Structure 1
Amino acid sequence: MKRLLGFIGVLGVLLAIAFFQAPQSAQSSPTKLASKHVAEKPRIGILQTQSHPALDEIHRGVVAQLRRRGFRDGKTVTIDFENAQGDQSNLQTMAQRFQTKKTALNIGIATPAAQALANTNTQAPLILGAISDPKAAGLVHDNRQPGTNVTGVSSRTPVKQQLQLIRQVLPDTKKLGVIYTSSDPSAQAEVAVLRHLAPQFGFKLHRFTVANSNDVDQVAQLAVQQVQAIYVPSDNTIASALQTLLNHTNQAKVPVFPATAKQVQAGGLASYGLDQYALGVATGNMAADVLQGKTQPAKTPIKTVAKGKLAINQKAAVALGIKLPAAVTKQAQQKGVVYP
């Protein structure tokens, strides 16, 4: 009997230990799995200033290249995308949310988005998605040696090629207008180059500035009365109001030479524009290199893309009564893009 009672006592102790340990083990298991899950799925924040075809193409290229490099949204990473729709206060709020979420890496598409991210978080790597002049925008100390948590891709509109194209298409034009945002450092830098080069091609440059997209309608009406052609720089405000500009220029038969092929497709006449999707791919590559530990932003030079691809819009040419030179059309057919 004593042996039986002893056995029952030992069995009771063992069952008690098992009872109290089992829930503890069950409770800790999900935590361990969750920790492992989080470690395997870093969060990538992508902040875009606003929507228009050129910026949307950059975003598409970024995500596609990240996927090709093994960073698949919902599987190996979580991609957190925010679009501020041109609202500066939205940019700040979204950048702060990324910091709260502890993103492993951020990508800023267009200068205002990149600036908001840089001002909010100085720790997480920041990859610039097609910023015209990172140094002038205060994003890096030096484009060759950033020295901070920031690196990325710089897009430089080939201004000289653009002017050569305008002169080739419009051999008799003298008065060239440019419309840009007065507060946009990237647009200002491009216009500075334009002012220097325009006289070399026989153009008298007329500058028109806007404070926001609401100004484009009135400024466009004024511009078409004073110039024979309009140059549109890399300017997100003008890009978002391009149709407003084209409504006035088409009516006045004033051709527009925009900064990107997407803007030519939307109604511009011609451009030596940068491939926006390719800019996104380059941005995605730099982000993937940082995530894989192959590079460090502080030691990685800004990658500058400045080679344009010719795009022409034949429908726009017919509507404007302009006959595109055969050499221009041939080049676009062979090495660029032709929008019928």
Structure 2
Amino acid sequence: MATGIGRRRLLATLGGAAATAGPAAARAQPPGRTARIGFLYPGVARVAAVRIAALRDGLRAGGYREADRVDVVVHASEGDPAKLAALAADLVARKPDAIVAASPAAVRAARSATSVEPIVAIDLESDPVAAGFVASLAHPGGNVTGVFSDFPDFGTKWLELLKEAIPGLSRAVILWDPATGATQLNAVEAAGRSLKVGLEVVKVRAIDELGRAFETAAERRPDAVVILSSPIFGTNPKLIADLTLAHHVPTATLFSEIARAGGLMSYGPNLLGTFRQTGTLLGRILQGARPADLPVERPTTFEMVVNLKTAKALGLTLPAAVVARADEVVE
């Protein structure tokens, strides 16, 4: 069973809203009118429902009274990033009141499709300024705002946790989606040098490459596998957990859903909490705020999950100190 053992919170404070105008006009919803939201999602449609429910929770928390009536049009690429541009164009053609874009690739596709409709991003991989999505964190200045997380320290944390859990750790394979950019990869490679862990990188560009990626990783006989953040991985927790156990490799990742499903451990933002946070921003836009005036936010709730059932299946005994720091333990 899963046991709660506390919670970590990180509060990020950004500058106040800008007073300057942006290209996306304020568009408060008239009473009784049903808002239409486009949801551009790089993963599989079947797991989108729980994320949309979290968005609605965020809308309610932000005071948007019509949260239950919002019409959410889901366009999911089913793990094929090549489909995102056409999906984004179709959403724009439907004249949505706003578009929620999940992942760097989805944000890029939405921005290419429109400079008018508000875009609310949920992007756990990008620096939004460096990526060109916004002018600055406090003053986005265009039609994009949202919740972004490019914390490179996670790469160090995953390797540190694995090193503590597996004292003899000397070699690890990194699963990396090139579409997310190099920030995470650079950070984990620096951590590998610091911790004296040899790293090999396996690229994964689509969901249908996951099986072969794990086969390649297992062939290299690593002590562990680090799964970097990407919607390709985050939307397929059960598949990744099954591959973890089938190839008998310990894994560390950002996504708690993977650890709960059978991965070894995770540390990162609470994913559904981040969707709720995104929903609150979305609600402000539906009530008339402009993305140009809404500061970019960072995730505020973080969690660590360890799976003792998986550890046992892999023949590992996790140190008590690692287990004690977890917010959730799956037994």
Q: Does 1:229 align with 2:220?
A: no
Q: Which residue of 2 aligns with 1:180?
A: 176
**1:99 counterpart (89, 92, 102):** 92
- Which residue, out of 307, 310, 325, partners 1:316? 310
Contact 1:130–1:280 at 8 Å: present in 2 too?
no
Q: Sort the Cα spacing of 1:172 and 1:53 in 2 relative to 1 into closer, same or farther, 3 A.
A: farther
On the 8 A contact 2:55/2:275 being kept in 1, the answer is yes
The answer to whether the 8 A contact 2:81-2:206 is kept is no
1:148 aligns with 2:118: no
Query: As a proportion of its length, which structure holds more helix?
Result: 1
Paired residue total? 298
CA distance in 2 between counterparts of 1:222 and 1:81 reads 33
Runs of 4+ in structure 1 over 6 Å off: 36-39, 52-55
* Conservation of the 8 A alpha-carbon contact between 1:272 and 1:309: yes
After superposition, the C-alpha distances for 1:80-135 in whole angstroms (9 at most, x for unaligned) are 33323224454333322332222121111222222221111111111102342133
The offset of 1:39, in angstroms, is 7.4
Aligned CA RMSD, in angstroms, stands at 2.8
Q: What is the identity, as a one-letter code, of the residue corresponding to 1:276?
A: L
Aligned counterpart for 1:255 among listed residues 250, 257, 273:
250
5+ residue gaps, structure 1, are 1-35
Does the C-alpha gap of structure 1 residues 54 and 178 become closer, same or farther in structure 2, counting only changes over 3 Å? farther
CA apart distance, 1:251: 4.4
Equivalent-residue separation in structure 1 for 2:287 and 2:117 (angstroms) = 14
**Alpha-carbon distance in 2 for matches of 1:135, 1:189:** 13
Give the match for residue 76 of structure 2.
Answer: 83
1:55 touches 1:109 (CA, 8 Å); kept in 2? no
Higher relative contact order (CA 8 A, sep 6+): 2
In the aligned structure 1, how far is the partner of 2:52 from the partner of 2:225? 28
In the alignment, residue 199 of structure 1 is paired with which amino acid?
A: R
Report 1:92-171 matches (<5 A).
92-133=85-126, 134-156=128-150, 158-171=154-167
Residue matched to 2:18: none
Q: How far apart, in 2, do the equivalents of 1:50 and 1:200 lie?
A: 34
Which structure has the greater CA radius of gyration? 1
Question: Unaligned stretches of 5+ in structure 2?
Answer: 1-28
SS at match of 1:40: coil
Distance in 2, matches of 1:78 and 1:242, equals 27
| Structure 1 residue 53, shift from structure 2 partner | 9.0
Query: What's the % identity of the aligned pairs?
Result: 22
2:328 maps to 1:337: yes
Which of residues 199, 202, 223 in structure 1 aligns to 2:196?
A: 202
Is the partner of 2:284 in helix, strand or coil? helix
3-state SS of paired residue (1:234): coil
CA distance in 2, matches of 1:230, 1:52: 27
- Aligned equivalents of 1:281 and 1:162: distance in 2? 25
